[in-house]
Amino acid sequence: MKTFFNVEDLGDLAQALQEAREVEKNRYGFQHLGRNKTLLMIFFNNSLRTRLSTQKAAMNLGMNVIVLDVNAGAWKLETERGVIMNGDKSEHLLEAIPVMGCYCDLIGIRSFAGLTDREFDYAETIVNQFVEHSGRPVFAMETATVHPLQAFADLITIDAYKPCRHPKVVLTWAPHCRALPQAVPNSFAQWMNAADVELVVTHPQGYELDPKFVGNATVEYDRRKAFVGAHFIYAKNWSCPGVTRPADYGKILTEDAAWTVDSASMALTENARFMHCLPVRHGLVVTDEVIESPRSLVIPEAANREISAEVVIKRMLETL
């Protein structure tokens, strides 16, 4: 596996879930794969879970790990081609990337959407330069449009806690005070569409996700209707994806508090589990009562990030 961005990169999902169960029970059993191999983790943005879980996964596999926070200590990077670099950027990505590739065997990258130019973001312009110029296999640790390590961990969690064979999973938009990327909901929808679940996506008008991710999932604008019968409620904020309102790409269209996930919303469900990728804004996205309730899975969901990362890195090491 040379790149990991989308659900199809993992192949058969049932097999991947079986492998995740095996890794969870025997997470130190594959150290021969990573011995004398180096993972370089590159962060253009903040992180807690991805940073810790991916480093843990690589160490489980016997790897050496280097973590680079590009905006803290490295030279400020120019990402545009054909510019005259007479400003505050000292190094071009086109040299920095192959140089970074010299010091590692595998690259994980986090580079969030800029949320100003939809074409630039949805072409995955930044991360594709790493794929093209690093000479190394590359996996996403949340890029402009996807967060597959999170979605794989979400699927592992749903598979472990589902009360029936074909659970109803609701991806619900929730309000936030900042304009956030669509990467998490994009990947969640993509992976749920590939899994054996009934996916319903609910959000206000204007927040329609890109068709290549939402696929044939049911889109329900009435959140109360969406919540009825749900076994899992996956809450996340995202900014306007620019699908039905291209001029509003990356913007906040509403902060309607009626979309905050509260106990009354959860009471509409089939005693559903609550999920969120974290970090989460209490009081905006979800009430304290819901996220702290026994039905909340946010901690085991975060714990499964170690497992999803270990399966992915293991697969990449096996094909080096």
Ligand X SMILES: NC(=O)OP(=O)(O)O
For residue 70, give both structure tokens: 């590009």
Q: Give the angle 97-179-219 at the CA atoms, nearest 5°.
A: 105
Instruction: Please report the sign of the dihedral spanned by the C-alpha atoms of residue 1, residue 108, residue 237, residue 300.
Output: positive
Nearer to ligand X, 47 or 293 (CB): 47
Residue 48, contacted partner among ligand SN0, ligand X, none, CB below 5-8 A by kind: ligand X
Report the distance separating Cα 190 and Cα 194, nearest Å: 7
Question: Within 10 A of 244 (CB to CB), how many other CB atoms are there?
Answer: 11
> Residue number with the shortest CB distance to ligand X?
50
Q: Cβ 157 to ligand X, closest distance in Å?
A: 12
Residues that bind ligand X (CB under 6 A): 47-51, 142, 150, 277-279
Nearer to ligand X, 50 or 269 (CB): 50
Whose tokens are 């998490």? That residue is 184
Report the distance separating Cα 271 and Cα 106, nearest Å: 42
Q: Is residue 109 a contact partner of residue 138, using CB atoms and an 8 Å limit?
A: yes
Residue 183, contacted partner among ligand X, ligand SN0, none, CB below 5-8 A by kind: ligand SN0
Residue 281, contacted partner among ligand SN0, ligand X, none, CB below 5-8 A by kind: ligand SN0
Size of the site for ligand SN0 (CB under 6 A): 9
Task: Give the residue ranges of the annotated binding site for carbamoyl phosphate.
Answer: 47-50, 75, 110, 147-150, 277-278, 305
81 binds ligand SN0 (CB under 6 A): no
Q: Cβ 144 to ligand X, closest distance in Å?
A: 14
Binding mask 243-282 for ligand SN0 (x = CB under 6 A): ----------------------------------x-x-x-
Q: Nearest to residue 265, comparing CAs of 222, 224, 235?
A: 224
> What 3-state class would DSSP assign to 225?
helix
- Return all residues near 122 (Cβ < 8 A) that are at least 6 apart: 144, 145, 210
Report the distance separating Cα 46 and Cα 43, nearest Å: 7
Q: Nearest to residue 284, comparing CAs of 142, 201, 178, 147?
A: 178
Q: Cβ 310 to ligand SN0, closest distance in Å?
A: 19
Nearer to ligand X, 187 or 287 (CB): 187
Whose tokens are 């079986």? That residue is 18
Residue 180, contacted partner among ligand SN0, ligand X, none, CB below 5-8 A by kind: ligand SN0
Binding positions for ligand SN0, 164-223, rule CB under 6 A: 178, 180-181, 183-184
Nearer to ligand SN0, 268 or 303 (CB): 303
Pairing mode, if any, of strands 168-173 and 38-43?
A: unpaired
Residue 266, contacted partner among ligand X, ligand SN0, none, CB below 5-8 A by kind: none
Task: Give the residue ranges of the annotated binding site for N(2)-succinyl-L-ornithine.
Answer: 142, 176, 236, 281
Instruction: Please report the sign of the dihedral spanned by the C-alpha atoms of residue 67, residue 73, residue 75, residue 76.
Output: positive
How would you label 255-276 residue by residue, b for 16+ Cβ within 10 Å and e otherwise? eeeebbbeeebbebbeebbbbb
Residue 118, contacted partner among ligand X, ligand SN0, none, CB below 5-8 A by kind: none
Nearer to ligand X, 34 or 108 (CB): 108
Q: Cβ 87 to ligand X, closest distance in Å?
A: 29
Report the distance separating Cα 233 and Cα 173, nearest Å: 10
Q: Cβ 47 to ligand SN0, closest distance in Å?
A: 8
Q: Enumerate binding residues for ligand SN0 (CB under 6 A).
A: 142, 178, 180-181, 183-184, 277, 279, 281
